[in-house]
């Protein structure tokens, strides 16, 4: 039997609160399914660079965060990736955070 999962809208709200409490600017750029939508976090670093974290599951079904670009990438490249994901997954949430240290305020 699997553990109960926290609704996506609650996870997003908590992540925004953590970012705001640390003094970072954070917004929901796209609302997904409130119950089970996956979450992507774009962290703007400045100078048109950003990092992307995408919610995934490990082989045991536990939630993890992965970086499709393995570090900082051009913001346009990340936006193109998110556009593609948005077309594929209509339930996707997108959070955008501006933090020069690259903190995504992930769980």
Output the pLDDT for position 56.
Answer: 87
From the number of C-beta atoms within 10 Å of its C-beta (0-12, 13-18, 19+), residue 75 rates as middle
> pTM value?
0.90
Quote the DSSP letter at residue 4: P
Residue 1 located in a structural domain: no
Residue 80 located in a structural domain: yes
Output the pLDDT for position 61.
Answer: 82
CB atoms within 10 A of CB 25: 11
Domain count, the chain: 1
Residue 104 located in a structural domain: no
Per-residue pLDDT of the chain (107 residues; tens, 9 = 90+): 455 678 999 999 999 999 999 999 999 999 999 998 899 999 999 899 999 999 888 898 888 899 999 889 999 999 999 999 999 999 999 999 998 788 888 86
Are the beta carbons of 86 and 29 closer than 8 angstroms? no
Residue 106 located in a structural domain: no
Residue 105 located in a structural domain: no
Residue 2 located in a structural domain: no
Structural domain range at position 87: 8-98
Domain containing residue 17: CATH number:
3.40.1530.20
Residue 32 located in a structural domain: yes
Residue 29 located in a structural domain: yes
Output the pLDDT for position 99.
Answer: 86
Output the pLDDT for position 1.
Answer: 41
Query: Which residues is 39 bridged to in the sheet?
Result: 93
Output the pLDDT for position 3.
Answer: 57
Q: Give the count of alpha carbons within 13 A of 71, CB side only.
A: 0
């Amino acid at each position: 039997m699997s553990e109960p999962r926290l609704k996506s809208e609650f996870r997003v709200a908590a992540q925004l609160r953590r970012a705001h409490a640390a003094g970072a600017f954070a917004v929901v750029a796209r609302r997904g399914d409130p119950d089970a939508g996956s979450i992507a976090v774009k962290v703007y670093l400045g100078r048109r660079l950003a990092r992307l974290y995408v919610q995934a599951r490990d082989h045991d079904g536990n939630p993890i965060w992965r970086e499709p670009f393995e570090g900082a990438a051009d913001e346009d490249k990340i936006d193109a990736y998110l556009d593609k994901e948005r077309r594929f997954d209509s339930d996707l949430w997108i959070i955008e955070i501006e933090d020069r240290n690259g903190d995504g305020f992930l769980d």
